[in-house]
Each structure stands twice: as C-alpha cells, then as structure tokens.
Amino acid sequence: MKLEIGEVQIEDIKLGEQTKIEDGLLHVSRAELRKLLLEDKRLAAVEMTVARPGDKTRIIPVKDVIEPRVRLDNEITGYPGVTDKMGRVGAGRTLALKGAAVVTTGDIVAIQEGLIDMWGEGAKYTPFSQTCNLVLTFTPRRNLEAHQHEEAVREAGLKAAEYLGKAAENMEPDNINTYDLPAMNKRGEEVEGLPRVAYLKMLIAQGLLHDSYIYGIDAKETLPTWIHPNEILDGALVSGNCVAACDKITTYQHQNNSIILDLYDRHGKDLNFLGVVLTPELTTFTGKVRACEHATGLIKTMGADGVIISEEGYGNPDSDLLQNCKLLEEDGIKTVLITDECAGNDGFSQSLADTSSVAKAVISTGNVSHMVKLDPAERVIGNIGSLANLAGGSGDSFCDDGSIVCELNAIIGSTSEIGYHNLTARQY
C-alpha cells in the first residue's frame, strides 16, 4: 500500500469572506464555515479565533486538535465512518496543511480536558504552541447529554479540518512524503535478515468519554486488530477521549504518529517494519485478559522479533501495558515500552500502577505530576475557570498576579506516549 502525503505549508490564518490559500496564508470564510458546522442542531453557536505561536494566548479547555487535510484520489475526502461514508484509506495522495491546526474548545465536557499556551513557559510543554491554530469555541444546545455534547464537538472539529483541507485540493504541494509498505510476503532483498519489528498501539477505550474510534467504530467494541500504518496516517483513527490532557493522543498526533514515522524511516535500513496492531485498553479484568492475549497472539503470528508498545493514559492502562510486555517477552519477543510516569510532585512515588521484572527497556516521556507555573495570559480563549476541574489543576491553581500553577497533567500533549514531543526522564 502506497500513500503520498503532500505538504502545503501554512504560515498564518486569517478570518475573512472566502476560504483559499495564497502565499502560505490560509483565508477562512467565517460565514461558510459557521453555516457548515451549525448544520448539526446539537450545536447552538460557534466562535472562531486565530491563535498564533508567540501570542500571549491561553486556550482552555481543549477537546481535540486536528490537522487540516484533503484526500485527492479517493471517493472518501473526510474521515471514514465519521464525517464520510465507510471506505478504506491509506493509499493514493493526501494533502496536509502543515503548520495549521483546528483546535476545539467550549463548555467543558469532562474533567480531563486541558490547555494550550502559545507563549512562555507553557509553550515549552505542548507541540501545539508551534502551530497556527484556528480555535473553534462551541456552545451546545441546552440540556445536551454529555456523550452527545462530546460527539457533536468531536465531529465538528473533523468537519472543519476537512473543510479547510479542501482549500488546497488544486495546489501543488511544497513537499511530498511517500509511505510504501508492501505486503509481508512481497518484500524484497532490502529487508532480508533484518529484525522484524511490529508496533503495538494501545488505545484508550474505557467508556465514560475515554474513547477512540477506528473507522468510526468505538475501540472498546473491537478485538485487537492488525492495521496498515498508512491507514492511521491517513485518518482512519480519531480521538474521542477526555483522558488526562498530558497524554491524550489527539487526532493530529494520530495523523502524524511519530513512532510510525520513525519506523518507516528505518524500514529497509536496520529493521523490517511489519505493521501496527491496535488494541483497546479496557476496564474489566476479563476484557484486559482478552485484549492482551489476542493482541500478543497477532504479534506472534506475524513472526515479530521485537515490538514497540505505546500506552495511552496512565494508572488503569498500566496493567495492560505490562501484561502485553510479559506475554511477548515470555515468548522470546523483545519489547520496548513507551509510557509516561505518575510519580508525584517530587518524582519519588511509584511511577506505574503495575510493574514486571521483564520490562527492561522502558522509555519515559515525563512525569505527569511535575508542577509548572504559567505566566498570566493577555487573552484566554475558552473558560479559564475550568482549570479548577481539570486533571492537574484545582481551585488553588490561580495566583493573585494572574499566573497559574498546575501539573503537566493539564497541558495538552506534554507527556505524549507516542513520543510526539520532547520530554523524557532519566535515572540518576
């Protein structure tokens, strides 16, 4: 399967009368986009604001971040099973608006949404301080049930990203990246003798607004499944979760999964990339056993020599992470685990809720409990008061000078467990 992702570089976003791209400037029609989004009668209003890198702007609470894209040679231009009809993606050409993002916010849906600072100390901890963000602030209809509220905002963000992506459909990209991973039985001499490496991607699937969607299917309703990495890069996997903001894997991060991109970069050089197995992180003991046994069974059937396992969330999912590790290591398959730590404000508490002596290769993406002080913002998009209810925040987070003190827990993408940022930890 061969996928080309063409990059159309966006330097700035401007709200106006017509949606188009000129010399790196993305013009967005307020009226046209508002009309599209408010076709969903669950939404009463939407406000649009542009937040640029370096602006003294705080966005809170953030639901999702999505990269605007358009698929050129496929009948499915949007997100299959969600905003578009069902069909397979991952082949052909897709154009991505690099440097731009859609950020959704509004009334808080659950206590584990988070914030993005576009400047200062907070900007260091989120990758989305470096994108030019079209922020959509939604007001739902009165008495809308929480799951309907979450679904309406999730789908609206995806629709907006699809709408913006279409502005590039007749453009020549600035750069094209090609992802070509043939079937395992059709690979040539370039991979002969190289270690066979698979990627086991764990997905939040716990219900109570902790959800992920594969081709529109709630992951908790699925068994672990093999999927071509191109499908993930091309929009088959979207976020619907309200897990702690620090390790929430947004749709943008799924679209640009750094583990997949790194494995592609090394494929045919020092490893043979076999593909991806998606596995749900469930809440029941039976569900965990079933998912771990089935996921590791798929990996073993693929004939992997080694596996990278990434987690989403912490605490409850730690048991899935370590069980997957043990089942694979006991069969002689080497594992590398990628996880963040919940080690307390001082960093001395037990980092994971579970442990195993066979987990010897563990990459930490940071301590979610690390405290940071964020400077006063000149502009807040959303509701700063929601910080009192966010994971990592509290009523005591607000300082007299307008600054705030919170844990990394509250900052979107700060301890990304697919390595989509720059934090880590080391043992002294």
| Three-class DSSP category at 229 | helix
Q: State the pLDDT confidence band at 428, using cuts at 50, 70 and 90.
A: low
Q: Phi/psi of residue 311, each to 5°?
A: -100, 160
Domain count, the chain: 1
User: What amino acid is encoded at 49 in this protein?
Assistant: T
Query: Quick one: pLDDT band at residue 306, thresholds 50, 70, 90?
Result: very high
pLDDT tens digits, residue range 211-245?
899 999 999 999 999 999 999 999 999 998 887 89
Q: What are the tens digits of pLDDT across the range 89-128?
A: 999 999 999 999 999 998 877 767 899 999 999 999 999 9
Please check whether residue 382 lies inside any domain of the structure: yes
Residue 424 within any structural domain of the chain:
no
For residue range 37-78, what is the model confidence (pLDDT) as tens digits? 999 999 999 999 999 999 999 999 999 999 999 999 888 888
The parent domain of residue 47 ranges over: 2-410
User: Whose CA is closest to 105, among 144, 143, 150, 164?
Assistant: 150
Domain assignment present for 266: yes
Does 398 fall in a domain? yes
Residue 291 lies in a domain: yes
Under the banding of pLDDT at 50, 70 and 90, the label for residue 427 is low
Dihedrals φ, ψ of 219, to 5°?
-60, -25
Q: 357 by DSSP, 3-state: which?
A: coil
Residue 329: what pLDDT? Answer: 96
The string of pLDDT tens digits covering residues 243-290 is: 789 999 999 999 999 999 999 999 999 999 999 999 999 999 999 999
| Residue 425 counted as domain residue | no
Buried b (16+ CB within 10 A) or exposed e, 386-406: bbebbbbbeeebbeeeeebeb
Pair 169, 247: CB distance under 8 Å: no
Distance CA 100, CA 53 (A): 11
Give pTM, 2 decimals.
0.95
In angstroms, the CA 350 to CA 347 distance is 8
Mean pLDDT of 370-397: 91
pLDDT of residue 188: 84
Is 212 domain-assigned?
Answer: yes
| Contact predicate 22/348, CB 8 Å | no
Cis, peptide link before residue 68, omega less than 30° from 0: no
> 132, 242, 246, 292: which one is catalytic?
242
- Residue 292 a catalytic site member: no
Within a domain: residue 415?
A: no
**Burial of residue 351, with CB atoms counted within 10 A of its CB: 0-12 exposed, 13-18 middle, 19 or more buried:** buried
